[in-house]
Structure 1
Amino acid sequence: MNSWRTHYKKALIALSLLLCTSVSIYAQDASKGDPENGETLFKANCAACHALDKQLVGPALGGVVDRVKQEENLDVDWFYKWIKDNKALRTSGDKYANELFEKFNKTEMPVFANLSDQDVDDILAYTTNPPKQDDAAATTADKAQDPAQLEAERTEKTNSLIILVSLLAVSGLLVWLLIKLRQLVKLNQSEELSVFNECQIRNFGELYEKYNTIGKLVLGILAVFAAYGVWNWLMWVGVYKGYQPEQPIYFSHKIHAGINKIDCQLCHSGAKYGKVSEIPSLNVCMNCHKFISEYKGEYVQAGKTKDFYTGEIKKIYDAVGWDEKTQSYTGKTHPIQWVRIHNMPDFVYFNHSQHVVAGAKTIMAAKNVDIVCKACHGKIDTMNVVQMANDFTMGWCISCHRTTQVDMTNGYNEAYFKNLHAKLEKQYGKGTKITVDAIGGIECGKCHY
């Protein structure tokens, strides 16, 4: 019996030593890497498909080293093989690698042969012990207003109210004084003043009779100004420069086209190939936002928060029926009713492809703007909410056609307008700049049916 107890105690001691050794190994594996550098590497290589706290395309990676060790008894060496060349690991018959591949819809994970062992250690250190977010790095838009600033605003409002009440009191006092003075004048009015007052003009009719000619002249001038005002008002009917409607989903072009440098035609793909530029379908949005479920950018518009932007991304998910937990579509969808901003009248023909393809080189050659889209839509990459940047009147379009130089260096224009170019050079001399109006850009039939 004593012998059995002795062996049992030795077994317990050995097991304890083994567990301590395992914990020590885990600690060493976690401490080998640099979590801060790992965060940078994670965002550059892994964040498109993984998050620490939830499943995206792939599993959540928070604490993945300990989890895999406990569940599959696999150490860091397995991660080196999986991250650097997961396909080769699966081909070798690794059981866990193939289970992961099957579990996550047979989605191919990219090969990261460029990452060194130290890089992998850094990434794993980040997943094990991510650096705490510095509260001081929060943007000013996310913070509450400064108490001193709030106090200053209250003081300003109080002072404004005091000034307003004082002005009203002074105005009341002046009215009272005028009334009293009028009563005093009536009491002290002499007979001579009464006779003089009877000769005074008392109304506009008497004034007009006395100054008939001058009155007609003044009325004529007023009529001319009124007619001009009506004409000027009619000329601006249907002109909505500055129109900036609220959209059902808040979409910041400044974040997408400005900060992230996304090309306009990535979303508005029809602009290069058709008459209209098209409103992007939500499937286009999901190409990126399937993997970007939270806003983590540095820029935050005044009055907004990062949570606000994240909430707008969730509206996209709701519209397309995307379930974040299962990373799949539910089939429950509903359309987004975008508010149209630019809308040409029915009698006007405008072709986006003609301007984007031919106009791009023309406008860039003239060095008026950096890209053709801005010629009409303004600095769209600086707008949080898109607005109509120009008048879009016929005069505005004609002015553009009269000042924009045609690029004659490309093969098509050089061949197609060869005779015209020669004619203009003969008429105006060599070095003549051909503008759009010279090639029919202001003919009525070009824009009107």
Structure 2
Amino acid sequence: MISWRKHYKQTLVAIGLLLSTSASIYGQDGDPKNGEKLFKANCTACHALDKQVVGPPLKGVVERVKTEGGKDTEWLHKWIKNNKEVRESGDKYANEIFEKFNKTEMQLFPNLSDKDIDDILAYTTNPPAPEPAADKKTATQGAEATAAPASNTTTNVVIISLLAIAALLVWILVKLRQLVKLGQSEDLAGLNETRVKSFSEVYKKYHYVGKGLIAILALLATYGVWNWIMWIGVYKGYKPEQPIYFSHKIHAGEQKIDCQLCHSSAKYGKVSEIPSMNVCMNCHKAIGEYNAEHYMEPGKDKAFYDGEIQKIYAATGWDPVKQQYTGKTQPVEWTRIHNMPDFVYFNHSQHVVAGEQAIINSFNKKNPTNKIDVVCKACHGKIDTMNVVQMANDFTMGWCIECHRTTEVDMNNGYNKEYFKNLHDKLKKQYPKDGGKITVDAIGGLECGKCHY
């Protein structure tokens, strides 16, 4: 009996040591939940758990390096912190990996502690089960339950409308029958005696009223034609469908991407160009699917957004499986939204560089409850809230002139301070309004040749 207990205890100790060793080898001594956070913050730009992105899939990486290269977690620690140093040491397996993935330099992570790396490896070895999402079936049933009363209401309205039309038709038939009977009676002759024989008699009797109505109609018609002519070429609210769906709300709003990262010539060029597809690929080489499930537009799902990313790959000729360009590209025919007429000169750099702070200050002064933080929004509206970009302003000559008349020149701007240093006093005397404040119209903002040449 004593012997059995002794062997039993020894067996338990051996199993415990084996499990602890196995856990250490396979990264299970870390915290998978914390590892998931660290993985998303540091690794997802180049890696996914279950598929190749820029680098290989990382699910089961501890077991894989052990099987393929005979490496342990200590080697993985060194590789993650400074893979370049490991390769330069002559490590055969490290250099094989480097060659296999097109000699793509992996980012160094000296900032990650051993505990952080253990947590990440624990996550890749045994990812925690995702939290249960809301029951879609229940949500659908709730939506159907909500939609049911609306559907019933619509049906009731249609039925009532049809009954009303039927009642009106019956009433008309009754009246027609009465008229037929009246035409067959002697009373009709008496009515004919008092009835006006022609339109000319009516006009003679009420010609002053008729002339007045004609004059009013002529004025209204003239105003309508004039108003129609004045709004030719004004497309405020215009938001065409583009060949590839691009949401500024997701990119500029949710992800806080700066406007000039994509529209690089808006600040220093005359025209703010449409970004090339290579600009998109700077990010979407590593982002092959839509994972921001916390934000989706009504009527759109993950499959829709993933499909639009695939359109980017098709346009640039990118093969996401082989992680290389095929050379087969497809041009994207974007629909232009903002387009100045050929006879209008407008320079983006002049407004963004020299007029940036002045325009922001002027806009915020006129719109205290709807302030802006970047100059782009003064003309283009709050782009970071738009899923589909639309023309936010009139972009008429009157709209531009009004801006020039009300925007105060920033005389503290380095350019203006130097350029107008000999004109300050003269301008303040010439334009004494608002305590000598100088608006754009005072420095040539209303001269025809500034915009038309």
Which of 172, 175, 191 does residue 175 from structure 1 map onto? 172
Q: Which residue of 2 aligns with 1:443?
A: 447
Q: Which residue of 1 aligns with 2:273?
A: 278
Q: Which residue of 1 aligns with 2:283?
A: 288
AA aligned to 1:313 is: I
Q: Deviations over 1:48-94 (max 9, x none)?
A: 11111111111110111111122222211111111111122222222
- What is the CA distance between 1:39 and its match in structure 2? 1.0
- What is the CA distance between 1:228 and its match in structure 2? 1.1
Which of 316, 322, 333 does residue 337 from structure 1 map onto? 333
- Unaligned 5+ runs, structure 2: 1-13, 365-371
Q: Which residue of 1 aligns with 2:126?
A: 129
**1:58-69 to 2 correspondence within 5 Å?**
58-69=55-66
C-alpha RMSD of the superposition: 2.4
- What is the CA distance between 1:185 and its match in structure 2? 3.5
- What is the CA distance between 1:202 and its match in structure 2? 4.7
Contact 1:139 1:300 in 2 (8 A): no
- Give the 3 Å change call, closer, same or farther, for CA 353–129 of structure 1 in structure 2: same
- Give the 3 Å change call, closer, same or farther, for CA 47–133 of structure 1 in structure 2: same
Q: Which residue of 2 aligns with 1:376?
A: 379
Which of 148, 172, 178 does residue 151 from structure 1 map onto? 148
Q: Which residue of 2 aligns with 1:9?
A: none
Separation (CA, whole Å) in 2 of partners of 1:215 and 1:162: 43
**1:49-448 to 2 correspondence within 5 Å?**
49-136=46-133, 146-190=143-187, 194-297=189-292, 298-366=294-362, 368=364, 369-427=372-430, 428=432, 431-448=435-452
- Give the 3 Å change call, closer, same or farther, for CA 138–439 of structure 1 in structure 2: farther
AA aligned to 1:436 is: V
Separation (CA, whole Å) in 2 of partners of 1:129 and 1:202: 98
Q: TM-score, normalised by structure 2?
A: 0.89
Separation (CA, whole Å) in 1 of partners of 2:135 and 2:342: 49
Q: Deviations over 1:219-255 (max 9, x none)?
A: 1221111111111110011111111111000000000
- What is the CA distance between 1:307 and its match in structure 2? 1.8
Q: Which residue of 1 aligns with 2:367?
A: none
AA aligned to 1:209 is: K
Q: Deviations over 1:328-385 (max 9, x none)?
A: 0000001000011111111111111111111212113435232111111111111000
Q: TM-score, normalised by structure 1?
A: 0.90
Separation (CA, whole Å) in 1 of partners of 2:383 and 2:58: 38
Percent identity between matched residues is 63
AA aligned to 1:392 is: F
- Give the 3 Å change call, closer, same or farther, for CA 180–153 of structure 1 in structure 2: same
Separation (CA, whole Å) in 2 of partners of 1:179 and 1:270: 74
Separation (CA, whole Å) in 2 of partners of 1:149 and 1:189: 63
- Give the 3 Å change call, closer, same or farther, for CA 282–169 of structure 1 in structure 2: same
AA aligned to 1:63 is: G
Contact 1:254 1:381 in 2 (8 A): yes
Q: Deviations over 1:291-321 (max 9, x none)?
A: 1111111210111112211110110001111
Separation (CA, whole Å) in 1 of partners of 2:144 and 2:218: 57
Q: Which residue of 2 aligns with 1:41?
A: 38
Deviates more, 1:417-426 or 1:57-66: 417-426
Contact 2:410 2:416 in 1 (8 A): yes
Contact 1:38 1:123 in 2 (8 A): yes
Contact 2:354 2:413 in 1 (8 A): no
Contact 2:47 2:54 in 1 (8 A): yes
SS at match of 1:31: coil
AA aligned to 1:316 is: I
Contact 1:26 1:66 in 2 (8 A): no
- Give the 3 Å change call, closer, same or farther, for CA 429–161 of structure 1 in structure 2: closer
SS at match of 2:355: helix
Contact 1:272 1:357 in 2 (8 A): yes
- What is the CA distance between 1:415 and its match in structure 2? 2.5
AA aligned to 1:227 is: T
- Unaligned 5+ runs, structure 1: 1-17
